Amino acid sequence: MDEKQNSNVKILKCGNRTYFFDVKTAKNNSQYLVVSESSFEKKTQARKRNSFILFKEDLTRFIEMLQTIELVEI
């Protein structure tokens, strides 16, 4: 997926993890969210990064699913 621009970036620091919420715009002008987690492993002194893409049309269903999980109260 080719990205056109970075519209908005939010950063959330939680202990040894940092979360990045990047709203991006594709060539076809549709927006999508890239959620990335960066963590630091003390033992190996290595930084790990994981991410996933969430498309705008799926955002409502994604939030609804999170609300059904007992651990998450939104």
* CATH code for the domain in which residue 8 is found: 3.10.450.700
pTM of this structure: 0.75
Cβ atoms of 24 and 34 within 8 Å: the answer is: yes
Q: Is residue 13 domain-resident?
A: yes
Which residue range(s) make up the domain with 9?
3-67
Confidence of residue 73 (pLDDT cuts 50, 70, 90): low
pLDDT at 3: 46
- What phi and psi, each to the nearest 5 degrees, are found at residue 43? -65, -45
Q: Is residue 74 domain-resident?
A: no
Q: Which amino acid is located at 22 in the chain?
A: D
The total number of structural domains in the chain stands at: 1
Q: Is residue 9 domain-resident?
A: yes
**What residues form DSSP beta bridges with 15?**
none
Q: Is residue 28 domain-resident?
A: yes
Q: Is residue 72 domain-resident?
A: no
Cβ atoms of 17 and 38 within 8 Å: the answer is: yes
* pLDDT, tens digit (0-9, with 9 covering 90-100), for 13-68: 998 899 999 999 999 999 999 999 999 888 888 899 999 999 989 999 999 998 88
Give the separation between CA 30 and CA 33, rounded to whole angstroms.
10
**Can you tell me whether residue 44 is helix, strand or coil?**
coil
**In the predicted structure, residue 72 carries a pLDDT above the cut 80:** no
